Amino acid sequence: MNKETLQIYRAVGFIISIAVFMLTAGAACGEQLVLDKTVLDKDTVWQGEVLLQGDVEVATGVTLLIMPGTVIKVARKDGFGSFKLYEDKNNHFPGIEIVVRGKIIAQGTEEQAIVFTSAAEKPSPGDWGGVNILASKNNIIEYCEFSYAHTAVHGHSAHVVISRCYFHHNGVATGQKNVKEAGFDCVMPMLYNRITENGGGILYGGGSTPLIVHNEISNNKFFGIYAKKGGLATIRYNNIVNNGKGVILFLIKNGMLLRDNNIAGNEDYNISLLEGQTWDLDARHNWWGETDDAKIRAKNCDKANDDTLALIDVSNATDAPIKGAGLK
């Protein structure tokens, strides 16, 4: 784990230790808090059940603390309407969002997860926008469940630890990218999460350099991990299985660390290079679901399929699944 990530953990620990003393409660236990389009301009606690009927922004300098067991239900809204705080489609999603410019501390427990979901009687992916963290530091999202969002958690030059969460039936589980105006890079480590039955799993780009370790990334319709125009990610000890495509790369430079993963059983390809991916990929020491070298290579799309593409090095493949990968 890099130095910057450790600094995030330390800062978050300090925030949590003082949060219960400094924040003002948003709703009493047993009552439903209903919020229309609003900006939170003071430190706030959410607990119990919260219904969002419009965008909610956590203003710069403000902390939103969400207590274990809280259920946040978001009304289904289409596109960009009067319920939106912003019309900027480059940095915002259709539907209702939680926009974080200050800090969000959503730390559930194994017994009492925090739930973010659609309020629709018959929900579907994309019913709401997602948690959109904009140029914000010292955030934590742990033991949370996200469902039926467009992009459940997205970081624009955000510092946020996402650990032990469950993402399902979203358009995309998580996304991240750097934004030049922020003045600092996106740092969004993904640790011990279950990411399954979404349209897509983890999407990153814009120069971000994610840490993706010990996640279960499975049964996502289109992809497990999609890296485009991104930085040098560390992707280790994950189960990336039974997705449409396991890992997709577009304009990723040399230096990605992709090893010690179980990458197998993905429908189209285990790894697929897209047009313009001319930097070779070091994918040594992974488990591919089989030991036959020709079959392993046939499940990866690279120069063997298209002369304009780079090569994927799948040498030193393991002869059995990586022990301890995924959530173990």
Q: What is the pLDDT of residues 87-127, one digit of tens each?
A: 888 889 999 999 999 999 999 999 999 999 999 999 999 99
- Are 259 and 311 members of one domain? yes
Sign of the four-CA dihedral 17, 210, 134, 175: negative
Q: Are residue 26 and residue 152 in the same domain, yes or no?
A: yes
Instruction: Please state, for a pLDDT cut of 70, what percent of the chain lies above it.
Output: 91
> In this structure, is residue 202 part of a structural domain?
no
Amino acid at 11: A
Residue 197 belongs to some domain of the structure? no
- Structural domain boundaries enclosing 222: 210-328
Which of 7-21, 167-181, 306-320 has the lowest average pLDDT? Answer: 7-21
Q: What's the full length of the chain, in residues?
A: 328
What are the C-alpha distances in Å from 283 to residues 104, 154, 229?
35, 27, 18
Residue 23's pLDDT band (cuts 50, 70, 90): very low
pLDDT, one tens digit per residue, over 232-275 is 789 999 999 999 999 999 988 777 899 999 999 999 999 999 98
d(CA 203, CA 174): 6
Q: How would residue 15 be classed by pLDDT, with cut points 50, 70 and 90?
A: very low
150 and 288 part of one domain: no
Rounded mean pLDDT, 271-283: 92
In a domain, 242, yes or no: yes
**What is the distance between the alpha carbons of residues 117 and 152, in angstroms, rounded to a whole number?**
9
In this structure, the answer to whether residues 247 and 172 fall within a common structural domain is: no
For residue 28, what pLDDT is reported? 53
How far apart, in whole angstroms, are the C-alpha atoms of residue 93 and residue 197?
Answer: 20
Domain-embedded: residue 201: no
Q: Give the closest residue to 57 by CA, choosing from 114, 118, 104, 101.
A: 101
Inside any domain, residue 203: no
Q: How many domains does the chain have?
A: 2
My answer on whether 116 and 214 are in the same domain is no
Residue 196 in domain:
no
Task: Report d(CA 7, CA 15) in Å as an integer.
Answer: 12
Do 225 and 317 reside in the same domain of the chain?
A: yes
Q: Of 188, 223, 255, which marks where a domain is finished?
A: 188
* 172 and 218 both lie in a single domain: no
pLDDT above 60 for 18: no
pTM, two decimal places: 0.91
